[in-house]
Structure 1
Amino acid sequence: MKYIFLLVLFVPFILFAQVEADPYNENLNDSLQKIFEENALKIDTLGLKVSSIIITGNKTTKDDIILREMHLKKGSKFTLKEYSEDLLNIYNLALFTKVDIIPVPMGEKEIALNVDVQERWYILPLPNAGIEEGEWKKVWLSMNLRWDNFRGRNERLNAGFRVFYNPSVSLSYFVPWIGEKLHLFMGIGGAWQRQRNRSLTAVGRESGSNTIAYNDSNYENVQYKAELTLGRYFGKNFSVFTEYKFNHLRVSQYAPGRTVSDDGVDRYITLGAGVSWDSRDINEYATKGLMFRTMYERYGFLDEEVNFGRFILENQSFIPVPITKNYYITIASKLYTSLAMGAVIPVYNHEYLGYSEDYVRGWKGKAYEGDDIFTVYNEIRIPVIKPRYVRGKDMMIVKDIPIVKNLDIRHGLYFTLIYDIGTVWYKDEKISSKRFYSGAGIGINVIAPFGYVLRADWVFRLGKPTVGQIGFSLSAKF
């Protein structure tokens, strides 16, 4: 009889486990939500112990990679809070298309946990293409060969190249957890790139002009670089890290001011250190939590002429605002600032607005340059279709693709209200004297399979002349 009681108690809980650890999940109707909330309180007061944890579905991933993400351990007390956090922790490994943790009653005061995962592809050729600043002559193609979950231990190998506009070659390796209790992490990589200069002042133009066109007189920065990152986590959210970088940069056509040295080649080492706090619910498209990161970098040590520093601060906040018991919107904001310190800041280390994804929406195509930058991106994220799983075989087109049709595909749709503001300035200028550029509009964000976010924005420039711009991207703004 006691087993039947526990089974009845866990029925809504098990159903809840099949969707997401989200108290506002729309897949639960009001009556089921009420039952779940009442039983959740009972569950936390029963003093249940976890008798065992069984991992299923992981053909490649080692058990300990999953188990180390869990607060719930064999012999520990079962709580709803830790259960919900464990679900998100495992999903945020970005190794699985779907994660379930199913409680199974084993006795009057004991339960077993079945962690059932659905692994995704780990060796991914990722082609990409784009047109910089809306110019067809700035078209580029790229290919990244990414091996996630290398050795089944959540390590990542990445080799990539880009051709046509701003070509590059890169190779990197990252391991997120070294030492069972120390929880160190490490990344190492190297790259070569030939990038068209973005500095307006280096080619005799004023900040606020149109972005430098392909046919305009310009030069290229040819750069070789290598970097090493070492860090440690203290708990789930807080980490400290250091960075070590070597840079060799030369310009294709030398002119005074394009490099700090007189021969057109700058060689320097960058040493950096910082701290980070990350409590976002879903890394790919957060709707709850906070991400804070700050660091200081020092450039120099090889050539005496290169001698400056840079302080960087980034804060992302995601505040859920409940509308009903099972529906909420998110007020999302990203603040970013970077401040240079030193006598001479080379133009290749300036901050820019207007290039690639670094622009205030509504002002794309206008280039602004300075030593320092301050931006705030804001969105109200309104779920139209809350993220959910659909079996591949139940979807058009996908159902005819081998392998994919057997996966549970995560998808969703958000409508966004947008307001961005930002400016750049030189260190001898006062920020209070600078104009802040702003834009407002609407957007659509599509939560696509395998961690992608497809974004379309329609934003108006707040200033004369008022200009509306439509933008597309394969990633969220933040």
Structure 2
Amino acid sequence: MFYLRRCLFIFGLLAGFIAHAQTAGVSPAPVKDTGYLIVRNILVQGNKKTRTSILLRELSTVPGDTIYLKDLSQTLEDRRKQLLNTSLFLNVTANIKNWKGKEADLVFEVWERWYIIPFPIFKLADRNFNQWWVAEGHSLNRVNLGLRVTHSNLTGRMDRLVVGAQMGYTQKLTVAYTLPYIDKHYHNGLGINFSLSRNREINDSTSFNKQLFYKSRDFIQHQYTAGLVYSYRKAINTRHQVFLNYYYEDLADSVALLRPNYLGGGRSRVQYLELMYLLTYINADSWKYPLRGVQYQASISRRGIPPIDDIKDWQVRARAARYWQLGAKTFGALGARGQAMLPENQPYINQKALGYNDDFLRGLEYFVIDGTSFFMAQSTFRYEAWNFNLHLPVVPGKFNRIPFRLFLKAYGDMGYVYNKLPGNGMLNNKMLYTAGVGLDIVSFYDTCLRLEYSINQLGQKGLFLHTKIDM
């Protein structure tokens, strides 16, 4: 009861902060003794690889627009962050030049990143670092090693090519290419992807909210996927996407006999088509580590389209987050996400709810809660404690400065998972609560390291490590 009261106190405190939040104003510098300016031209400098037309498309200001001087500082900062959110640049500056009468030019100077990044793969087979380090004894047999080469601006049009190959726990080959704009109006985009993988061990069941595994000397699982994606983005903040994916899974007969519900009906292989529509809206200061603004995402999918329909279900997912600046260097955030799936009777592979991927409560990293539907809410209070740059003397030019921002935080989570047949799951079909404190370390190339000390409603405490933003 004491722990429950403490969690509710944290939720109430954070909600109170956010309900009365007022974003800090930005005082515009007096540029001219007039009330407004008219944008004559928009100039971009420093983009050796990226096409200027692509960058102009990412700005919500065009030549001929009027900007009131009281809004000038904030407008320049907002446009600067819109270019940073493309993830193409290390830094962007915005200035006013060539002021004549009431007309002036907006000038943006960009520092391009390294776009070709051969990145070694050191990926854990388990759901998170703590599960691998503690529960699985940090066994190197549960590590994937390989190489992933990413070109995030292949032709200068923000098109992204990813090729990866890995060995170890999962042997996998992936190829993906995305071209965000294929038309002269920069509204429509296309993408393709392909992957194949095989495993000697799989998570075939769950007991008391812990994963169980089946292992063999031979490969017992083969998976193949191929897909197409069409995107439509007319406005800056809203993107529509339609995915058509083909899935094929081949399972060893021994696993199908031992766990007949893994693929359902004792099957050893399934294939199906999935059609999904995804809507994303982001209006935030940063798309990678937002502190002010909102994010919304919703999707509806149909798995199983005749005649390729061994798996059949409808799935709806939604998530929302809002971020506030509460005061000097203090920020609040509230987020919620959920999923609903029909029909309720699904094979084991379709019952991954909380504890998988990014859907988990902070403090329940050692558990999985299987089910077809779930809901979770998160609240976080952040304080920016440090903001500094680390200089690397042996690294040339614009890459010798690494920015760091360190945030102290307190948080509370809650969630619920519905499972029609929960079995011995002690966390299913009941409200779940967690809370904790932590430190976020944020740097460029969209990196975020999270150190968190959490407690859950079972009274269990622990220090947890993550490498993605929590909301």
Q: Give the 3 Å change call, closer, same or farther, for CA 413–212 of structure 1 in structure 2.
A: same
Q: Distance in 1 between matches of 2:338 and 2:217?
A: 31
Q: Is the 8 A contact 1:244 1:272 kept in 2?
A: yes
Choose the corresponding residue for 1:401, options 395, 406, 415. 395
Please tell me whether residue 89 in structure 1 is matched to residue 82 in structure 2.
Answer: yes
- Tell me the number of residue pairs that the alignment of Structure 1 and Structure 2 aligns: 424
Partner of 1:351: 352
Please tell me whether residue 236 in structure 1 is matched to residue 236 in structure 2.
Answer: yes
Partner of 2:99: 106
Q: Distance in 1 between matches of 2:268 and 2:445?
A: 43
Partner of 1:78: 67
Q: Distance in 1 between matches of 2:218 and 2:261?
A: 14
Partner of 1:363: 364
Q: Give the 3 Å change call, closer, same or farther, for CA 222–374 of structure 1 in structure 2.
A: farther
TM superposition shift of 1:173: 0.9
Partner of 2:12: none
One-letter amino acid of the structure 1 residue matched with residue 354 of structure 2: L
Partner of 1:439: 434
Please tell me whether residue 316 in structure 1 is matched to residue 321 in structure 2.
Answer: yes
Q: Is the 8 A contact 1:122 1:148 kept in 2?
A: yes
Q: Give the 3 Å change call, closer, same or farther, for CA 240–215 of structure 1 in structure 2.
A: closer
Q: Distance in 2 between matches of 1:444 and 1:312?
A: 29
TM superposition shift of 1:453: 0.8
Partner of 2:285: 281
Partner of 2:55: 66
TM superposition shift of 1:452: 0.7
One-letter amino acid of the structure 2 residue matched with residue 420 of structure 1: D
TM superposition shift of 1:314: 1.3
TM superposition shift of 1:303: 4.3
Which of 1 and 2 has higher RCO (CA within 8 Å, sep 6+)? 2
One-letter amino acid of the structure 2 residue matched with residue 337 of structure 1: G
Choose the corresponding residue for 2:465, options 459, 472, 475. 472
Q: Is the 8 A contact 1:354 1:363 kept in 2?
A: yes
Q: What SS does the aligned partner of 1:374 have?
A: strand
Q: Give the 3 Å change call, closer, same or farther, for CA 233–94 of structure 1 in structure 2.
A: same
Q: Distance in 1 between matches of 2:217 and 2:416?
A: 26
Q: Is the 8 A contact 1:197 1:218 kept in 2?
A: no
Q: What SS does the aligned partner of 1:150 have?
A: coil
Q: What SS does the aligned partner of 1:78 have?
A: strand
TM superposition shift of 1:72: 2.6
For residues 18-59 of structure 1, what are the alpha-carbon distances to aligned partners after superposition, in whole Å with 9 as ceiling and x for unaligned? xxxxx859xxxxxxx7xx43638x77x633122222221111
Higher mean C-alpha deviation, range 342-351 or range 414-423:
342-351
Choose the corresponding residue for 1:124, options 114, 117, 130. 117
Write the mapping of 1:320-339 to structure 2, written as runs, cut at 5 A. 320-321=325-326, 323=327, 327-339=328-340
Q: What SS does the aligned partner of 1:106 have?
A: strand
Query: TM-score under structure 1 normalisation?
Result: 0.81
For residues 318-368 of structure 1, what are the alpha-carbon distances to aligned partners after superposition, in whole Å with 9 as ceiling and x for unaligned? 1222x2xxx242222332211111264221121243356543221222232
Higher mean C-alpha deviation, range 147-156 or range 229-238:
229-238
Q: Distance in 2 between matches of 1:85 and 1:336?
A: 27
Partner of 1:19: none
Partner of 1:378: 379
Q: What SS does the aligned partner of 2:311 have?
A: coil
Q: Distance in 2 between matches of 1:227 and 1:160?
A: 16
Q: Distance in 1 between matches of 2:335 and 2:177?
A: 28
Unaligned residue ranges in structure 1 (runs of 5+) = 1-22, 26-32
Partner of 1:341: 342
Q: Distance in 2 between matches of 1:383 and 1:303?
A: 51
Q: Distance in 2 between matches of 1:436 and 1:347?
A: 22
TM superposition shift of 1:199: 4.6
Q: Give the 3 Å change call, closer, same or farther, for CA 370–443 of structure 1 in structure 2.
A: same
Please tell me whether residue 294 in structure 1 is matched to residue 298 in structure 2.
Answer: yes
Partner of 2:223: 223
Higher mean C-alpha deviation, range 152-161 or range 273-282:
273-282
For residues 402-441 of structure 1, what are the alpha-carbon distances to aligned partners after superposition, in whole Å with 9 as ceiling and x for unaligned? 45655x5332111111212223222578xx9822222111
TM superposition shift of 1:103: 0.5
Q: Is the 8 A contact 2:123 2:144 kept in 1?
A: yes
Q: Give the 3 Å change call, closer, same or farther, for CA 355–226 of structure 1 in structure 2.
A: same
Q: Distance in 2 between matches of 1:175 and 1:427?
A: 42
Q: What SS does the aligned partner of 1:414 have?
A: strand
Q: What SS does the aligned partner of 2:211 have?
A: coil
For residues 190-227 of structure 1, what are the alpha-carbon distances to aligned partners after superposition, in whole Å with 9 as ceiling and x for unaligned? 11123543352xxxx53x34333687999954210111
Please tell me whether residue 306 in structure 1 is matched to residue 311 in structure 2.
Answer: yes
Unaligned residue ranges in structure 2 (runs of 5+) = 1-22
TM superposition shift of 1:163: 2.4
TM superposition shift of 1:288: 1.1
Q: Is the 8 A contact 2:226 2:245 kept in 1?
A: yes
Q: Distance in 2 between matches of 1:242 and 1:304?
A: 19
Q: Is the 8 A contact 1:355 1:364 kept in 2?
A: no
Query: TM-score under structure 2 normalisation?
Result: 0.82
Q: Is the 8 A contact 1:97 1:409 kept in 2?
A: no
Q: Is the 8 A contact 1:211 1:367 kept in 2?
A: yes
Please tell me whether residue 39 in structure 1 is matched to residue 43 in structure 2.
Answer: no
Q: Is the 8 A contact 1:411 1:447 kept in 2?
A: yes
One-letter amino acid of the structure 2 residue matched with residue 283 of structure 1: W
Q: Distance in 2 between matches of 1:316 and 1:185?
A: 26
Q: Give the 3 Å change call, closer, same or farther, for CA 365–220 of structure 1 in structure 2.
A: farther
One-letter amino acid of the structure 2 residue matched with residue 460 of structure 1: I
One-letter amino acid of the structure 1 residue matched with residue 342 of structure 2: M
Q: Is the 8 A contact 2:288 2:446 kept in 1?
A: yes
One-letter amino acid of the structure 2 residue matched with residue 354 of structure 1: G
Higher mean C-alpha deviation, range 438-447 or range 171-180:
171-180
Q: Give the 3 Å change call, closer, same or farther, for CA 212–378 of structure 1 in structure 2.
A: farther
Q: Distance in 1 between matches of 2:453 and 2:213?
A: 24
Partner of 2:9: none
For residues 101-139 of structure 1, what are the alpha-carbon distances to aligned partners after superposition, in whole Å with 9 as ceiling and x for unaligned? 110143121212221001110001222424422222322
Partner of 2:42: 53
TM superposition shift of 1:142: 4.2
Q: What SS does the aligned partner of 1:348 have?
A: helix
Choose the corresponding residue for 1:139, options 113, 127, 143. 143
Q: Distance in 1 between matches of 2:377 and 2:77?
A: 31
RMSD of equivalent CA atoms: 2.9
For residues 269-288 of structure 1, what are the alpha-carbon distances to aligned partners after superposition, in whole Å with 9 as ceiling and x for unaligned? 00112322111220110001
Q: Give the 3 Å change call, closer, same or farther, for CA 147–335 of structure 1 in structure 2.
A: same
Higher mean C-alpha deviation, range 100-109 or range 292-301:
100-109
Partner of 2:7: none
